[in-house]
Amino acid sequence: MTTKDTKDSERVAKAIEMAKKAHEGQLRKTGEPYIVHPLAVKKILEEWGMDEDTVIAGILHDTVEDTALTLDEIRKEFGESVAFLVDGVTKLSNARSGMRDIDTYLPETKDNFLRLMIALGDDIRVLIIKLADRLHNIRTLSALPPDKQKKVAKETLEVFAPLADRLNMGLLRVELADLSFKYVDEKRYNELKTLIEKYNKSAEKSLKKVEQEFSTALKKEKIHFALSGRVKSVYSLHKKLAKHNQNINEIYDLIALRIIVNDITDCYLTLGIIHSLYTPMGGRIKDYIAKPKQNGYQSLHTTVITKDKRVVEFQIRTKEMHEYAERGLAASFYYNEQKVTENYKKGKIEHLPTNLLWITELQMAAAKLREGKKVDLKKLKLNLFADKIFVYTPKGDIIDLPKGALPLDFAYRLHSEIGDHVIGVKINGKMSNLNKKLEQGDIVEILTSKNQTPRTSWLGKIFTPHARQKLTRRLNILSGNNQNNSQNKSK
């Protein structure tokens, strides 16, 4: 494991000097010198165990946008990788300021913004810097005027907390969500916070007993374990209550106990022991070890009724799963680095859900970088997004399409009504034709006419199966030979 010494490396110290000079004279809304902010971001990134280039980029993340410092100067001093990261963070901020008023694009287009972040942050470390930036801003949000507080908090709740969740950064998700929720709806926040505290207090004694019971049983079976406390997030309780008609009796994970064991076998043994002590509730056993969640989260969950009739959720996992659940992607940069490298050398790829393979790729790249080996980041980016382009509607909505997509694919993607009535296309404001391949970042405007009908020749101007399917169906209906097909479909 990397030793994180308290002293800054020479490069980091140099970056701090550079940032101090650049931000000289600027103040934060809190009245402090501006440099306090980038230094706080640096500290967060270090706590997350990020690599040195990311830490340096964190220190410099606001310089290109807000000071006279240029990207070229940064590149010259710290190299391509740092410059790339700072540029990515800057682009993200610029893209955001293009959307002037947060209220006008939230919450309807939050997925859109999420996609935008992913499109622009094609080195995942850009997103991690952005998350650290947001975490510090939300921690110091009280310095902003109330109307602005609400907007930033809302955006954090709608965009940044879900992003943290997507990267399985559990601790960050909870902190971002709860800090923001307090600003969005303070009364509700306080209500629920009190409720959780009361509930925990009332359960304290019986939980102690439960702890004793299963501890004895686990020791008897020679299973080594540790307990980890878990505080229910106020915001997630709020969301769950909304889903269950505000009926608190339907929330089964108000009290949860986490048991951390050595390996997967012990996870299942522990589950068995818990079930021999208490009655499991039907349908509440979840095996996220065999079937990890989309974000890679792994654990066994079970809800049981204790001897004094309390509902308690148990979460059982290995230390590694625990680290990954709390710190997610950041943890994989730090913790799994050696193991992944080892396994990689042995040709043994970590068991990860396929949609997380890109994380493995990043882990490997991070590990290689630490070993001082060269990694072609450009190639890495290509691997991550090789098959995708992101294009825009004139209103600024982002549509992701496979590389090679054509205007008709875009049109059918918007709506089949639009696809069926295409008479032309403007790309980046200029008339173009339907054979033109769309490129990353194109602004695409589809021209339609009510009198237009789909043509067979369009089949040669389509790339995606989705659009092909829609067009074929439409052509079949028009030519009247779809009777059998449509009958089958309607079943």
Count of CB atoms within 10 A of residue 2's CB? 12
CA-closest candidate to residue 311, choices 301, 297, 325, 326: 301
Q: Is 66 a catalytic residue?
A: yes
Do 286 and 240 meet the contact criterion of CB atoms below 8 Å apart?
Answer: no
Q: Is 111 a catalytic residue?
A: no
**Which residue's CB atom is positioned nearest to Mn ion?**
133
State the nearest-atom distance from the C-beta of 104 to Mn ion, in Å. 23
**Of 163 and 364, which has the nearer Cβ to Mn ion?**
163
Q: Choosing from 66, 111, 185, 397, which is the catalytic residue? A: 66
Please list the residues that pair with 228 across neighbouring strands.
Answer: 258
Q: Which stretch binds Mn ion (CB under 5 A): 58-66, 144-152, 336-344, 467-475?
A: 58-66
State the nearest-atom distance from the C-beta of 64 to Mn ion, in Å. 11
Task: Give the C-alpha distances (Å, rounded to integers) separating 396 from 54, 99, 112, 429.
Answer: 30, 9, 9, 13
- Cα angle for residues 282, 283, 287 (degrees, 5° grid): 125
**Of 117 and 380, which has the nearer Cβ to Mn ion?**
117
**Of 133 and 155, which has the nearer Cβ to Mn ion?**
133
**Of 37 and 173, which has the nearer Cβ to Mn ion?**
37
The secondary element (H helix, E strand) that includes residue 103 is helix 102-105
Q: Does 22 bind Mn ion (CB under 5 A)?
A: no
The secondary element (H helix, E strand) that includes residue 465 is helix 465-479
**Residue 135 and residue 430: Cα distance in Å, rounded?**
41
State the nearest-atom distance from the C-beta of 135 to Mn ion, in Å. 10
Residues near Mn ion (CB under 5 A), total? 2
Q: Choosing from 8, 65, 73, 287, which is the catalytic residue? A: 65
Q: Does 51 bind Mn ion (CB under 5 A)?
A: no
State the nearest-atom distance from the C-beta of 134 to Mn ion, in Å. 8
**Residue 313 and residue 305: Cα distance in Å, rounded?**
9
Q: Which stretch binds Mn ion (CB under 5 A): 131-139, 248-256, 271-279, 387-395?
A: 131-139
**Of 93 and 476, which has the nearer Cβ to Mn ion?**
93
Q: Does 133 bind Mn ion (CB under 5 A)?
A: yes
Q: Does 62 bind Mn ion (CB under 5 A)?
A: yes
Three-class SS state of 482: coil
The secondary element (H helix, E strand) that includes residue 389 is strand 388-392
Q: Which stretch binds Mn ion (CB under 5 A): 127-135, 180-188, 250-258, 324-332?
A: 127-135
Residue span 82-121 as binding mask against Mn ion, x where in contact by CB under 5 A, dash where not? ----------------------------------------
Q: Does 152 bind Mn ion (CB under 5 A)?
A: no
Q: Which stretch binds Mn ion (CB under 5 A): 4-12, 106-114, 132-140, 204-212?
A: 132-140
**Of 28 and 284, which has the nearer Cβ to Mn ion?**
28
**Of 132 and 471, which has the nearer Cβ to Mn ion?**
132
Instruction: Answer positive or negative: Cα dihedral of 28, 160, 361, 350.
Output: positive
Provide CB contacts within 8 A for 70, sequence distance 6+.
64
Q: Does 141 bind Mn ion (CB under 5 A)?
A: no
State the nearest-atom distance from the C-beta of 37 to Mn ion, in Å. 6
Q: How many CA atoms lie within 13 A of 358 on its CB side?
A: 20
Q: Which stretch binds Mn ion (CB under 5 A): 14-22, 126-134, 347-355, 403-411?
A: 126-134
State the nearest-atom distance from the C-beta of 145 to Mn ion, in Å. 18
State the nearest-atom distance from the C-beta of 61 to Mn ion, in Å. 6
Phi and psi of 445, rounded to 5°? -115, 120
Task: Give the C-alpha distances (Å, rounded to integers) separating 249 from 34, 253, 471.
Answer: 48, 10, 50
Q: Is 456 exposed, middle or buried (0-12, 13-18, 19+ CB in 10 A)?
A: exposed
**Residue 481 and residue 483: Cα distance in Å, rounded?**
6
**Residue 451 and residue 416: Cα distance in Å, rounded?**
15
What residues make contact with Mn ion under the rule CB under 5 A?
Answer: 62, 133
Any idea which residues carry the catalytic annotation? 65-66
